[in-house]
A and B are shown apart, each in its own frame.
Chain A
Amino acid sequence: MEDLKKFLVEKVLTFESDTLLPETEKKLQQIRREKISTPVIYLASGTGSIIAGSEKTFLAIRSYLDDNGTVSDLVRVGCSGPANFEPFLCIQLPGKNKLFFRNITEEKVEPLLNGIFHNDINEEDLAGQKGTRGFEMWPGIPFLEELPFFSRQKRVVLENCGCYDPENIDEYIARGGFRAFVKAIRHYTFEEVCTIVEKSGLRGRSGGGYPAGLKWKQALNTGSSSRYLICNAKESDPGAFTDRTILESDPHRLVEGIAIASYAIGASSALIFLRYGSEHARFRIQKAIDNAREYGLLGHNIFQSGYNLDIEIRIEPGAFVCGEETALISSLEGKRGMPKLKPPYPTTAGLFGKPTVINNVETLMNVPLIMQNGPEWYRSLGTEKSPGTKVFAITGKCRITGVVEVEMGTEIKTILEDIADGIKEGKEFKAIQLGGASGSFITSDNLDITIDYEVMKEKNISMGAGGFVVVDENTCMVDLVRYYMEFMRNGSCGKCIPCREGTGRMLEILEGVIRKPSNDDSGTTLERFKGVMQLENIASVMKDTSLCGLGQTAPNPFISALKNFREEFEEHIFDRKCRANICRGLRTFSIDVDKCTGCTACASKCPVNAIYGTRLQPFFIVVEKCTGCGICFDICKFSAITVK
């Protein structure tokens, strides 16, 4: 173990020349598992995989190998993207291409491995093979990289995800890791690193798209004695999980990115602001930091360069508003996470009044690549104004969900139709929501928009941190907007009035729109109409007068939904009808007399006792008592209950 560490430090990391010795390369190939003598089984093990049951699969494989006395390595790797394929398993036999299998739950392990070791491959669960030079191809098996899910992607940031053991720093170094950092601290000044990143045109991936190199220079040129770098890994948008996947699958590159960025701004202390609840990610990133420290990549006087750096993890205690820079800083200082007025920007007066650079995970993941391959290489990706790639977390009603990476300039249509494989169950597409809880909707008219900061800004669409939510015809837009508004109401810190009261009031009105009219004679109808008339007004006031981004963008989903789906809102308000049959309060159930057999199943399950009748005779529902919960609808075996 010590020998390997010494070898990696001396012959790889601090080796004078860029080209390594041939015998070093040979050994690295072994560490990368490119030359193997026994079979290797790789099992994806991110949070998504664990939820799908990968740990049970792991134990099943372990016991299979033990029982059969098969000599074989079993490695946990990160997630490679498609969440539908979990537990995602890969088997590599000596001298042959890697084979990938999808949805390998524990009971499938034995037949699968039995087959593989006896040259009988189970085609049913097979996802494909991965072509690697110098390896024998499996005949008649499709290539994984030819699947539309992979072929339309450009994996740069995610290139290592799912390929190596994220708890093993040796493998990362063998894949070329940390050499960019060592090169930076040995050969470049702070200023030069900033210039390289500025030249590359890397823009902050948290949504705003501010040039990263420029931000670093601003912090560097303040002339303060100490500076801080914060990696914002909070990601609390509902439905976004890109950062977590990266942290779980490739934590070492993030450590390297943080190290280079800290060096560029001359910070000797860096913090990772991690979301609470993501224990798995925390464990892996902590391990990556500890390993880097062991190898002398962090700590005091790193490789005799005179540069000191330490990285600490801080767990965010749970407040949506802490994603905002100044609120994040307040939280780290041990205060309530409330935003402050800008300027001064954090780059001049941030954490403890010192210049602070805050970058998100994806931005920092790009940095080692830029240092390694040069700014020109980075410029060659993507579009002129927005170089590089963008990672998205696709969720919702599409066939394939998961984490994907596309080149800037890709059409949204490509992501939806090729990568995500269209809408589930042949339903009709309704909208895509980009940018988390404060993003706007993209409808079928706008699907040709390209992923590009300039283009999207022009169309008034925020790119956001990577949420890509697909919505189909079975989703009620009013209900979805209400959900986002509720999320924002809970997330508002309460410092400024437009946001605190605005989100609350808008939620109240939206709830009024979907609530059951208890009695149309009372004041509820009038109240509803009065409220609806005010909605647009409140939204514009919030946009103009809120203190921070949270309040300013909170009405976005509403404004955009109203623009694109006005008729759906009108139906709710005037006709009291929900076309997707989602809004409970507006559903009316009735029993089809011809189909009802009088089995009493619905009557016994009705929580409000609104169903009456005699056994073996048709039942009926008392509409005034019904709350619209839909339990009877789900329980009826004769589809006698109809919903309107």
Chain B
Amino acid sequence: MSTDIESIFKKYKQGRREYLIPLLQEIQNDLGYLSEEAIVRVGSFVGLSTTKIYGLATFYDQFRFVPSGKVQIKICHGTSCFLNGSQSVTDKIKEETGIIPGQTTRDGIFSYEIVTCMGGCNNGPLISINGEYHTGVKPEQLPDLIRKLRFIIEND
């Protein structure tokens, strides 16, 4: 892992603050989240204290600080999906998984987040599960879907 971060660092100039966000984004793409170690090392690379970097990273929605689950769910909360009832879809997912957006379940299987618009405005509510889109989702389909996904992951 440490070598990965090293190779990302090579692409950027040291001590330049304007590269901080691209740097963090690339690390997150690579690791899936920002680990404590990564943030400390980015701090010494850019020349900023760790608290400042935490302050910045928590300001933005994109960054997460716990590994994401094996099943990543994105729920669209764009206006169109909202008008078609994405709120009840979110509530149902919250109820089924027992976590809030940005968290990961203890068994490391599920994590979900809310995004503003994914582009499927025509047939909302739209959710994406590991990049696969599901359109016109109804809350009552979700318990079965989530049970099925859990079964697949656990028996994998």
* Known contacts A315-B22, A317-B62, A336-B55, A239 near B80 by CB under 8 Å: yes
Chain A window 71-101, contacts with chain B (Cβ cutoff 8 Å), 1 for yes, 0 for no: 0000000000001101000000000000000
Seed contacts A402-B122, A631-B139; 8 additional CB < 8 Å A-B pairs = A51-B118, A51-B120, A238-B116, A239-B121, A314-B22, A437-B79, A467-B79, A483-B82
Encoded as 1 (CB less than 8 Å from any A CB) or 0, chain B from 1 to 37 comes to 0000000000000001111111011000000000000
Cross-chain contact B61 with A244 (CB below 8 angstroms): no
User: Are B133 and A51 touching (Cβ within 8 A)?
Assistant: yes
Q: B77, B82, B95, B135: which contacts A607 (Cβ < 8 A)?
A: B95
Closest Cβ of chain A: how far from B112's Cβ, in Å?
14
Given A52-B123, A331-B21, are A336 and B117 neighbors across the interface (CB < 8 Å)?
A: no
Query: Which chain A positions have C-beta within 8 A of B95?
Result: 607
- In the bound complex, how far is the Cα of B123 from the Cα of A402, in angstroms? 12
In the complex, which residues of chain A have a beta carbon less than 8 angstroms from the beta carbon of B78? 238-239, 395
Find chain B residues with CB under 8 A from A336 CB.
Answer: 55-56, 59
CB neighbours (8 Å) of B107 from chain A are none
A319–B59 touching, CB < 8 Å: yes
Answer whether residue A629 sits at the interface, using C-beta atoms and an 8 A cutoff.
Answer: yes
Please name the residue on chain B nearest to A393 by beta carbon. B121
Contacts of A318 in B (CB 8 A): 60-63
Q: A238-B117, A335-B17, A396-B79 are in contact. Are A319 and B60 (CB under 8 A)?
A: yes
Tell me the minimal C-beta distance from B21 to chain A in angstroms: 5
Interface residues of A in 237-264 (CB under 8 A from B): 237-241, 244
Task: Give the distance to chain B from A487, nearest Cβ to Cβ, in Å.
Answer: 8
A396 to B79 alpha-carbon distance, docked (Å): 7
Q: Which chain B residue has the least Cβ–Cβ distance from A631?
A: B140
A401 close to B (CB within 8 Å) = yes
A469: interface (CB < 8 Å) = yes
Does A47 interact with chain B (Cβ within 8 Å)? Answer: yes
B115 on interface, CB distance cutoff 8 Å: yes
B126 touches A469 (CB 8 A): no
The smallest beta-carbon distance between B47 and chain A, in angstroms, is 11
A318 vs B61: C-alpha distance in the bound complex, in angstroms? 5
Query: Does A520 interact with chain B (Cβ within 8 Å)?
Result: no
Chain A residue nearest to B116 in the complex (CB): A238
Q: Does residue B119 face the partner (Cβ distance < 8 Å to A)?
A: yes
- Give complex CA distance A277, B55 in Å: 22
Given A239-B121, A315-B25, A607-B95, A337 and B79 contact (CB-CB distance below 8 Å): no
CA of A330 to CA of B20, assembled, Å: 12
User: B83, A48: Cβ atoms under 8 Å?
Assistant: no
- Contact A396:B22 (CB < 8 A) given known A238-B117, A241-B119, A337-B60: no
Binary interface profile of B, 77-116, with partner A (CB < 8 Å = 1, else 0)?
Answer: 1111011000110000001000000000000000000011
User: Across the interface, which residues of A come within 8 angstroms of B17, CB to CB?
Assistant: 333-335
CB distance from A486 to the nearest CB of B (A): 9
Q: Sample 15 A-B pairs with CB under 8 A, ordered by A number.
A: A47-B120, A50-B133, A238-B117, A240-B117, A318-B60, A331-B21, A334-B46, A352-B18, A395-B79, A433-B79, A467-B79, A480-B82, A483-B82, A487-B116, A631-B140
For A607, what are the chain B residues with a Cβ–Cβ distance below 8 Å?
95
* CB nearest neighbor in B for A634: B140
The answer to whether A52 touches B60, judged by C-beta atoms less than 8 angstroms apart, is no
Cβ of A20 within 8 Å of any chain B Cβ, yes or no, is: no
* Residue interface mask B55-80, A partner, CB < 8 A = 1: 11001111100000000000001111
Taking CB atoms, residues of chain B closer than 8 Å to A631 are: 139-140
Instruction: Say yes or no: A469 contacts B79, CB within 8 Å.
Output: yes
Of all chain A residues, which has the CB nearest B135?
A51
The answer to whether A355 has its CB under 8 Å from any CB of chain B is no
- Indicate whether A317 sits within 8 Å of B82 (C-beta atoms), given known contacts A46-B119, A51-B126, A52-B120: no
Q: Is A475 an interface residue (CB 8 A)?
A: yes
* Shortest distance between the CB of A235 and any CB in chain B (Å): 9
Query: How many angstroms from the CA of A241 to the CA of B115 in the assembled complex?
Result: 13
On whether A397 and B83 interact (CB within 8 A), knowing A317-B21, A317-B60, A629-B88, the answer reads: yes
Judge whether A396 and B88 touch: CB under 8 Å: no
CB of B88 to closest CB in A, whole Å: 7
Residues A334 and B62 in contact, CB atoms below 8 Å apart: no
> In the assembly, what is the distance between CA of A337 and CA of B60, in Å?
8
Name the A residues within 8 Å of B60 (CB-CB). Answer: 317-319, 337
List chain A residues, Cβ under 8 A from B133: 50-51
| Binary contact track A397-433/B, C-beta < 8 Å → 1, others 0 | 1000110000000000000000000000000000001
